[in-house]
Chain A
Amino acid sequence: DQQVKQNSPSLSVQEGRISILNCDYTNSMFDYFLWYKKYPAEGPTFLISISSIKDKNEDGRFTVFLNKSAKHLSLHIVPSQPGDSAVYFCAAIEGGATNKLIFGTGTLLAVQP
């Protein structure tokens, strides 16, 4: 039972364009969402997060949008750079005392020069 889904296994965009990565979730108890970025042979690294009380959070070139009614979030990267090429994991946490991340399966982003 996959509670966090990333339906696009891969995405290719041109350098300078916008990359949009999507994530859907099923558990309405999730109240905190994160994006992690992963390069080959490395561990995931935290990118950006959003609380369920917000619908947008921005950090430089990265913006995360949350649509609670649709149980959908997206990560926008603009402008995309070749160094952004990596696997992006969406993750969610239920409100509570422990930091139990529930990950999606990831989207491989390739930014073409």
Chain B
Amino acid sequence: DTAVSQTPKYLVTQMGNDKSIKCEQNLGHDTMYWYKQDSKKFLKIMFSYNNKELIINETVPNRFSPKSPDKAHLNLHINSLELGDSAVYFCASSQEPGYTDTQYFGPGTRLTVL
């Protein structure tokens, strides 16, 4: 029973395509996040939702659109994929958005754009 799960684990696609990555947490947490780890291993926050409300939105191209249908799910939709979008995307969740709340990460989705 995985706490934070992501699908798919691997995603290979062509430039210009639109793709989605799904995230689900069964921890009963209120807050969810998307992080991107690029080829240089930098792990950077992209978005955060608390109770389905966007609370963190970093300087991410508007081709990236997060969607939170409910507290347990945070999906990431990417339009018009570019080569530079190739990365590992991690979903995470925490009980609250407070800064001492531990974040629990999913296993990651490796996106490769050809």
Cβ of A88 < 8 Å from any Cβ of B?
no
Q: Which residues of A contact B86 (CB under 8 A)?
A: none
Asked if B42 and A43 make an inter-chain contact with CB atoms under 8 angstroms apart, the answer reads no
Q: Which residues of A contact B75 (CB under 8 A)?
A: none
Number of B residues, CB within 8 Å of A: 28
Asked if A43 and B4 make an inter-chain contact with CB atoms under 8 angstroms apart, the answer reads yes
Cβ of B102 < 8 Å from any Cβ of A?
yes
Q: Which residues of B contact A32 (CB under 8 A)?
A: 99-100
Number of A residues, CB within 8 Å of B: 25
**A interface list, Cβ under 8 A from B:** 2, 32, 36, 41-46, 49, 51, 89, 93-103, 105-106
**B interface list, Cβ under 8 A from A:** 4, 31, 33, 40-45, 48, 55-56, 90, 92, 94, 96-108
A-B contact pairs, 7 of them (CB 8 A): A36-B105, A41-B107, A93-B99, A99-B94, A100-B99, A101-B103, A103-B44
